[in-house]
Amino acid sequence: MLRTALRNVLAHKARLAMTVLAVCLGVAFVSGTLVFADSSTAAYRAAASKNFADIAVTVTPKDSPPGAFADQHTTVLDDALARKLADLPGVAAVRPSADGSATLNAADGTPLRAGKAWANLAAAYVPGKDGKDSRYPLIEGHAPQNSDELAVDSGTAAAGRFSLGDRVTLATDGPVMTKRLVGIVTTKDTRVTAGGTLALFDKATAQRLFASPGHYTSIDLSAASGTDQGQLADRVTAQLPTGRAEATSGAAQAAQQATYVDTLTRGYTKLPLVFAGVSLFIGSFLIVNTFTMLVTRRTREIALLRAIGASRRQMVHSVLLEALLLGVAASAAGFLLGLGIASVLPDVLSTGGDTLPDGPLVIGPRSVVAALGVGVGVTVLAAWLPSRRAAKVAPIEAMRSAEQPPSATRSRIRATMGLGLAVLGAGLLVSLTGAKDASVANLQSAMLGCAALVVAMIMLAPLLATPVIRLTGRLTDRFGITGHLARENALRDPRRTAATASALMISTALVAGLAVIGNSTGQALDRQAAAGLGADYVISTRDITSGIDPAALPRVADTSGVRTATAVADSVLLTGGHVRQISGIDPDTVNAAMKLDFVSGSLTDLGPGRIAVSSTLAREHGLSAGGQLNARMGRNQDFKQYTVVGVYKDNPIAHDALGARTEVQQNSFKPGSVQRILVRTDSSAVSKTTEDRLRTAVGNSPLLQVQDREELVHEAAGTMSTLLTLMYGLLAIGVVIAALGIVNTLAMSVSERTREIGVLRAIGMDRTGIRRMIRLESVTVAAFGTLLGLAGGLFGAWTVGALANGALPQYSLALPWGTLLLVCLVSLTIGVVAAAVPARRAAALSPLEAVAET
């Protein structure tokens, strides 16, 4: 039986090559992702270890108590403490630091990597006895020596297109500053090498910006040879003011930073794993279909083996052994391809100058085991059902020349199970049409319902093939006898047709469903913005903890083309164990920029101690106009009773509650500042010129963003846009695997129908007619899978859309006709392309040789 399995594998090399390719793709995605993840983690940790290689202990100010708004300029770390620590036994050197955050504008005036505030680092250049700072080696120019000079790392210089001598605009947490670039350095800080920026000031400037004159944000100590870091940390701790500062070893800092950066970039490794899972799931249909056709084609051979004494167990083992051999070959090829994927992923994911750390590929046992387990496991499991079918072939089957249809009992069981799952899945999804929110229970019901519906569609597909293909056959019949034969060939084996179309059906359902939800959500967000935002532009901070200088408000109001401008201060409101957002407004001017629809009450009595709340917050706390809400606002340490003066319909611009701007502004993260300016222009004009003027009015600060309504909607729909991009990628995978399946099926179908094709050629059908027949058969199968996928995807979008409707009252089903039409065209095109090789092979058959084949 081993020799038989080997012979069968070698006898069907061309047919099984496409099966190996499907498994290979899935293994490549899985192994490549794991190798990339292991390599990136090792590179991050190596970079972090190098960065802290000369640091034994770091002293930092003690963390503020929870809920407190500590003043960042308050620190006990000064020159006196640094000298005191330098005299401790085991301390080789002391390096004080004044670190913070700074966001830069690129040379073209646009914010540079402003979306990564966690990695926009700023620090003091602290020269040692040799006049150089060993932490930031200079590669060009000289170190900053006064408040007008600045140095940056080489990555920031390249991303911002800076050259020595350029004037660089930047901001920390206040007004925009302009400094001259005098030096370019290198750094091993993984926050910077993972896509951040680094700005270096002279020591006095850095102290003024991030601490206070003569004070620091941290003090680094290097240990003398033979000194234990833990023991040195204990000695340092004993010298620190109790409760005002703490000491951390360099090793602990390296581990913490590596873990932190790894967490921030962990999403890079998840996306390829999703693609790998979908590739393997869809590819399993191709594997099952391939082995089913092989077993069916070898029915007489298997029956003869049974007749000469082969047992059922031996037949099962023979088919599974073939699958094992294919799985091993595919796993090996997929693992090698995965190494290639892992090597190029850093370049693919390093976009916009945001680079990932370099390092060698790390091939761990997890990657190797996963490649073998996934490749071999999926292939063997996919071949298990065909192997059982092979074992049931009776010796008498060797005497039959026609293929026997499946038993009526098996068909009834399949239909019953499929209908049961369809009812279960549809019932769960329909029950969500009355859902009010996207709670965990509702999401679980949606996932279970979708999974049940997908399985039901797969099981019912053979039963639906006949009526659906007869319906679509009216189009193919227009091509005459070739179209009629194509339809009948597709109906010859509904199970094979359904299995071939399953990959395309699943990928089409995913894309169609999410495309509908994405389009509906985008339009709902647009309507929500139109209903809640009267302003044409919103100038806002990128981080709620920073602010806009109130002096910018009159400059914005005086900008050409601006009709009105109103400031909004944002802070947090702690109530009922939850953190909410509260916006401070001026009741007299807010109506010109913010559309508020009050359910009860109004803004007339808004003032200190009096707030308005959204419908959601009012519903959660049972509030109405005149009610009392126990809450804590911003910097306040104590809870107090706030009087509710009105309840308004949910408005994303107004957030969860509204208060008087003077009160909210005093209790914001940055007291005295505002976080947003809502701008209404003349005739609601939105243009690049107006946007540039507004940016100029706020000093071109990289900490601020100027967005029109369309950009706000796009930002709000960011998650959905990411999901849609993912789904289009999944469609590409599904299309590739579906094409392989169609090619495989048609190739075997042509082989099975050699005599039939020979007869057609003998009675007068030319080569063009043969090719057209095979192409139309392929298009028929692709159309069947596409129609089922569209039906399932649209039904799922209609039912699951209720979850979005709970969060977006303006949500309503809106079909993206262009996207749906594109999906249909792509699917039909795949049918035509996949039929090219089988059609050419069929047309090349000699009529006499084909008729003579036994």
**pLDDT: is 246 or 42 the higher one?**
246
514 and 607 fall within a common domain? no
Give CA–CA dist 52/257, Å, rounded.
10
Q: How confident is the model at residue 516 (pLDDT cuts 50, 70, 90)?
A: confident
pLDDT at residue 736, as a whole number: 72
- Whether 26 shows a pLDDT value over 90: the answer reads no
**pLDDT: is 738 or 827 the higher one?**
827
- Whether 359 shows a pLDDT value over 50: the answer reads yes
Question: What single DSSP character describes residue 78?
Answer: B
CA dihedral 78, 83, 84, 90 (to 10 degrees): 130
Between helices 267-297 and 312-349, what is the axis angle to 10°?
A: 150
Mean pLDDT for the stretch of residues 618-623: 90
pLDDT at residue 444, as a whole number: 78
Top-ranked range on mean pLDDT: pick from 20-34, 74-88, 276-290, 491-505: 74-88
- Whether 149 shows a pLDDT value over 90: the answer reads yes
Which neighbouring-strand residues pair with 138? 185
Mean pLDDT for the stretch of residues 134-143: 93
**pLDDT: is 643 or 838 the higher one?**
643
Instruction: Please measure the distance between the N-terminal and C-terminal CA atoms of the chain and give it in whole angstroms.
Output: 25
Mean pLDDT for the stretch of residues 624-638: 87
Q: Indicate the burial class of 430 (C-beta count within 10 angstroms; 0-12, 13-18, 19 or more).
A: middle
Pairing of strands 149-153, 177-185: parallel
The contacts of residue 64 (CB under 8 Å, 6+ apart) are 70
In a domain, 310, yes or no: no
Top-ranked range on mean pLDDT: pick from 315-319, 392-396, 423-427: 423-427
In a domain, 382, yes or no: no
Share of the chain above pLDDT 90, in %: 22
Pairing of strands 676-681, 100-101: unpaired
Number of structural domains the chain divides into: 3
650 and 757 fall within a common domain? no
**pLDDT tens column, 94-106:** 989 999 889 999 9
- Whether 348 shows a pLDDT value over 50: the answer reads yes
Mean pLDDT for the stretch of residues 310-330: 80
pLDDT at residue 65, as a whole number: 39
Contact 425, 450 (CB under 8 A): yes
Contact 652, 532 (CB under 8 A): yes
Mean pLDDT for the stretch of residues 813-842: 85
632 and 494 fall within a common domain? no
557 and 644 fall within a common domain? yes
Contact 41, 207 (CB under 8 A): no
Q: How confident is the model at residue 627 (pLDDT cuts 50, 70, 90)?
A: very high
Single-letter amino acid code for the residue at 801: G
**pLDDT: is 3 or 217 the higher one?**
217
In a domain, 378, yes or no: no
- Whether 734 shows a pLDDT value over 60: the answer reads yes
pLDDT at residue 117, as a whole number: 63
Domain boundary among 233, 249, 265: 249
In a domain, 103, yes or no: yes
Mean pLDDT for the stretch of residues 782-806: 83
The count of other CB atoms within 10 Å of the CB of residue 64 is 12
| Low-confidence winner among 4-8, 68-72, 592-596, 750-754 (lowest mean pLDDT) | 68-72
Mean pLDDT for the stretch of residues 82-110: 91
**pLDDT tens column, 175-206:** 789 999 999 999 988 778 767 899 999 999 99
Q: Is the dihedral angle over the CA atoms 655, 659, 661, 664 positive or is it negative?
A: negative
Mean pLDDT for the stretch of residues 759-779: 87
- Whether 659 shows a pLDDT value over 50: the answer reads yes
816 and 715 fall within a common domain? yes
In a domain, 406, yes or no: no
In a domain, 551, yes or no: yes
Helix (H) or strand (E) holding 220: strand 218-223
**pLDDT: is 286 or 420 the higher one?**
420
Q: How confident is the model at residue 435 (pLDDT cuts 50, 70, 90)?
A: low
HSE-CB at 319 with a 13 A cutoff on CA atoms is 33
> What is the DSSP annotation of 299-334?
HHHHHHHHHTT--HHHHHHHHHHHHHHHHHHHHHHH
Residues across the chain:
854
Q: How confident is the model at residue 72 (pLDDT cuts 50, 70, 90)?
A: very low
**pLDDT tens column, 441-470:** 777 788 888 888 888 988 898 889 989 998
Mean pLDDT for the stretch of residues 277-300: 65
Give CA–CA dist 654/611, Å, rounded.
12
The helix/strand/coil state of 115 is coil
Between helices 494-532 and 767-807, what is the axis angle to 10°?
A: 40
pLDDT at residue 71, as a whole number: 45
- Whether 264 shows a pLDDT value over 60: the answer reads no
- Whether 114 shows a pLDDT value over 60: the answer reads yes
**pLDDT: is 85 or 445 the higher one?**
85
Give CA–CA dist 657/629, Å, rounded.
11
**pLDDT: is 104 or 406 the higher one?**
104
Which strand ranges, in their side-by-side order, compose the sheet holding 57-61?
A: 91-97, 218-223, 57-61, 245-249
HSE-CB at 495 with a 13 A cutoff on CA atoms is 15
pLDDT at residue 13, as a whole number: 63
Cβ-count burial 103-127 (b if 16+ within 10 Å, e if not): bbbbbeeebbbbebeebbbbbbbbe
528 and 553 fall within a common domain? no
pLDDT at residue 76, as a whole number: 85
pLDDT at residue 131, as a whole number: 85
Give CA–CA dist 795/658, Å, rounded.
40
Give CA–CA dist 580/748, Å, rounded.
63
**For residue 83, what are the domain limits?**
55-249
Contact 611, 659 (CB under 8 A): yes
Q: How confident is the model at residue 15 (pLDDT cuts 50, 70, 90)?
A: low
Angle at 419 between CA 415 and CA 422, to 5 degrees: 140
Give CA–CA dist 362/415, Å, rounded.
49
Give CA–CA dist 697/705, Å, rounded.
12
749 and 695 fall within a common domain? no
The count of other CB atoms within 10 Å of the CB of residue 534 is 19
Give CA–CA dist 700/694, Å, rounded.
8
Contact 378, 284 (CB under 8 A): yes
pLDDT at residue 383, as a whole number: 73
| Low-confidence winner among 113-122, 628-637, 829-838 (lowest mean pLDDT) | 113-122
Domain boundary among 249, 274, 298: 249
**pLDDT: is 268 or 168 the higher one?**
168
pLDDT at residue 235, as a whole number: 92
Place of tokens 């068909």: 411
pLDDT at residue 254, as a whole number: 76
- Whether 840 shows a pLDDT value over 60: the answer reads yes
Contact 12, 5 (CB under 8 A): no
Angle at 815 between CA 813 and CA 821, to 5 degrees: 165
Mean pLDDT for the stretch of residues 833-843: 83
Give CA–CA dist 460/802, Å, rounded.
27
Give CA–CA dist 56/224, Å, rounded.
9
Mean pLDDT for the stretch of residues 310-325: 79
**pLDDT: is 482 or 7 the higher one?**
482
589 and 525 fall within a common domain? no
Share of the chain above pLDDT 70, in %: 79
The contacts of residue 756 (CB under 8 Å, 6+ apart) are none
- Whether 137 shows a pLDDT value over 90: the answer reads yes
In a domain, 215, yes or no: yes
716 and 643 fall within a common domain? no
pLDDT at residue 733, as a whole number: 65
- Whether 145 shows a pLDDT value over 90: the answer reads yes
In a domain, 577, yes or no: yes
Q: How confident is the model at residue 69 (pLDDT cuts 50, 70, 90)?
A: very low
Return the structure tokens found at 323.
Answer: 């699958």
CA distances from 639 to 575, 644, 671, 693 (A): 9, 15, 19, 42
| Low-confidence winner among 83-87, 318-322, 593-597, 658-662 (lowest mean pLDDT) | 318-322
Domain boundary among 639, 668, 702: 702
Which neighbouring-strand residues pair with 583? 570, 658
Question: What single DSSP character describes residue 404?
Answer: P
- Whether 63 shows a pLDDT value over 60: the answer reads no
> What is the DSSP annotation of 680-720?
EEGGG---HHHHHHHHHHTTT-TTEEEEEHHHHHHHHTHHH
Mean pLDDT for the stretch of residues 753-762: 81
Q: How confident is the model at residue 70 (pLDDT cuts 50, 70, 90)?
A: very low
The contacts of residue 402 (CB under 8 Å, 6+ apart) are none
Question: What single DSSP character describes residue 234?
Answer: H
Mean pLDDT for the stretch of residues 341-346: 78
**pLDDT: is 807 or 342 the higher one?**
342
The contacts of residue 461 (CB under 8 Å, 6+ apart) are 498, 499, 501, 502, 505, 788
Q: How confident is the model at residue 68 (pLDDT cuts 50, 70, 90)?
A: very low
- Whether 74 shows a pLDDT value over 60: the answer reads no
Mean pLDDT for the stretch of residues 564-574: 91
Q: Indicate the burial class of 697 (C-beta count within 10 angstroms; 0-12, 13-18, 19 or more).
A: buried
Contact 463, 431 (CB under 8 A): no
What is the rounded average pLDDT for all residues in the chain? 81
The helix/strand/coil state of 163 is coil
Place of tokens 């594998």: 9
Contact 688, 582 (CB under 8 A): no
698 and 715 fall within a common domain? no
- Whether 66 shows a pLDDT value over 70: the answer reads no
717 and 853 fall within a common domain? yes
> What is the DSSP annotation of 602-664?
-STT-BTTEEEEEHHHHHHHT--TT-EEEEEETT--S-EEEEEEEEE--BTTTBSEEEEHHHH
**pLDDT: is 49 or 158 the higher one?**
158
pLDDT at residue 353, as a whole number: 46
62 and 182 fall within a common domain? yes
Give CA–CA dist 23/740, Å, rounded.
11
